[in-house]
Amino acid sequence: MKLPSHIDEQALSARLDRFEIETPSWGYADTGTRFGKYLQDAAANTLDEKLADAAEVHRYTGCCPAVAVHVLWDFPEGLSPQSTAAKAAKLGVRIGAINPNVFQDQCYKFGSVTNRDPAIRRRAVQHMLDSVRIGQAVGSNALSLWFADGTNYPGQGHIRQRKHWMTEALREVHAAMPAGMTMLVEYKPFEPAFYHTDIADWGMACAFARHAGPRAKVLVDTGHHLSGCNIEHIVAFLVDEDMLGGFHFNDRKYADDDLTMGSIDPYQLFRIFFEIVAAERETGADLNIAYMVDQSHNLKPKIEAMIQTVMTAQEHMAKAMLVDFGSLQAARDHDDIVRAESVLRDVYSTDVRPFLAEYRRARKLPADPLAAFRESGYAERVGKERAACKPGSSSGYA
């Protein structure tokens, strides 16, 4: 593929070399909705199997060396964090973000760190402190926090008091983190709380992060927004405030659907990457952003969906880097709205897949990672091995 004349191919390839995407352990396991769970024979049953699947994604894409883990789901009592890190390293990956779980236990029915019961608040904070220690043991540099805390009815809770409890908890956990660890504060406008959530939007997350300490930033989950929300505006604002810490990439049609990245609105994804690339051009350095996937597929094969997402992320990062910023600025200087928009739309319409195929071949990676994985037979093989360990199994690996 011949790139536009204003593009430095070497610089583009070098940026893609530095573009790493973290995949989630829970994205490889059987998951469900509140209505039920559909099992896949090839879905991972154990953390070892999750790490093996993540290693396959990295093997075919070359850009997914880290695996996010969920404390409780991935680190039951008695499991050594050090041995887990060693197993990951043996597979060619490493442990990434540590995700505490303060939403699953029955005691959190009315909240965790914002629960009116001080004993429950203490339990939640202690779990996060334990998660920090696990992170230290496995060499993680990120503590990723999402809270289900909120209320379902007016009058149910004292909103300002709950805000104070949240602030106190985050400050304590931040103070316990090692110097190289970043706290990522996630937000969500609703679910499972439907009247109010204690961290409902990016502004609240930003305020809580600033109260927590200098190593706390905001995590943007692309599925956690109300319909019509301008996510790239949020991204640009947080970048300018030096408060964008990371992403949880997925897509949605209605709410937190956890769909494959770019499957519903790929142009929005391009616009998000455009804002990142624009900021990096102005500063002359990569932004310190954790690019992470948060998807749990009930219908798509787990590994295939993850590879699809990673390939989509690379495509849109590459497209954003093709923008002719000189032409864009000239259009802006003359208030030429049509031309300014066309600069973006024309680049978005560019098929960068031939370039990425060449890019991968040069790095001894499959030109088409998804096709190569399908041809490997890995899913069929592990599906036969793992199906016997499930309480019920599907008729095929997918």
Q: For residue 396, what pLDDT is reported?
A: 40
pLDDT confidence tier of residue 93, bands split at 50, 70 and 90: very high
Q: For residue 398, what pLDDT is reported?
A: 36
Type of residue found at 262: G
Q: Where are the domains of the chain?
A: 9-387
For the chain, give the secondary structure using H, E and C.
Answer: CCCCCCCCHHHHHHHHHHCCCEEEHHHHECCEECCEECCCCCCECCHHHHHHHHHHHHHHHCCCCEEEEECCCCCCCCCCHHHHHHHHHHHCCEEEEEECCCCCCHHHHHCCCCCCCHHHHHHHHHHHHHHHHHHHHHCCCEEEECCCCEECCCCCCCHHHHHHHHHHHHHHHHHHCCCCCEEEEECCCCCCCCCEECCCCHHHHHHHHHHHCCCEEEEEECCCCCCCCCHHHHHHHHHHCCCEEEEEECECCCCCCCECCCCCCHHHHHHHHHHHHHHHHHHCCCCCCEEEECCCCCCCCHHHHHHHHHHHHHHHHHHHHCCCHHHHHHHHHCCCHHHHHHHHHHHHCCCCHHHHHHHHHHCCCCCCHHHHHHHHCHHHHHHHHHHCCCCCCCCCCC
CA 302 to chain centre: 15
Q: Is the pLDDT of residue 241 over 60?
A: yes
Q: For residue 271, what pLDDT is reported?
A: 98
Q: Is the pLDDT of residue 92 over 60?
A: yes
Model pLDDT for residues 157-173, shown as the tens digit of each residue: 999 999 999 999 999 99
Tell me what the mean pLDDT of segment 45-63 comes to.
Answer: 97
Q: For residue 79, what pLDDT is reported?
A: 80
| CB-count exposure of residue 20 (10 Å: 0-12, 13-18, 19+) | middle
Model pLDDT for residues 7-24, shown as the tens digit of each residue: 999 999 999 999 999 999
Model pLDDT for residues 202-235, shown as the tens digit of each residue: 999 999 999 999 999 999 999 999 999 999 999 9
Q: For residue 392, what pLDDT is reported?
A: 56
Q: For residue 179, what pLDDT is reported?
A: 97
**Cβ burial 143-153 (10 Å sphere, 16+ → b, else e):** bbbbbbbbbee
- CA–CA dist 187, 204 (Å, integer): 8
CB 235, CB 202: distance < 8 Å = no
pLDDT confidence tier of residue 72, bands split at 50, 70 and 90: confident
Model pLDDT for residues 270-293, shown as the tens digit of each residue: 999 999 999 999 999 999 999 999
Beta strand pairing status for 142-145 and 36-37?
unpaired
Q: For residue 397, what pLDDT is reported?
A: 36
What's the chain's average pLDDT? 95
Please state which of the ranges 57-61, 71-75, 92-96 shows the lowest mean pLDDT: 71-75
CA 52 to chain centre: 19
Model pLDDT for residues 339-392, shown as the tens digit of each residue: 999 999 999 999 999 999 999 999 999 999 999 999 999 999 999 999 988 875
Q: For residue 284, what pLDDT is reported?
A: 96
pTM listed for this prediction: 0.95
Q: For residue 393, what pLDDT is reported?
A: 47
CATH 3.20.20.150 fits 9-387, yes or no: yes
Cβ neighbors of 277 (< 8 A, separation 6 or more) are 317, 320, 321, 323
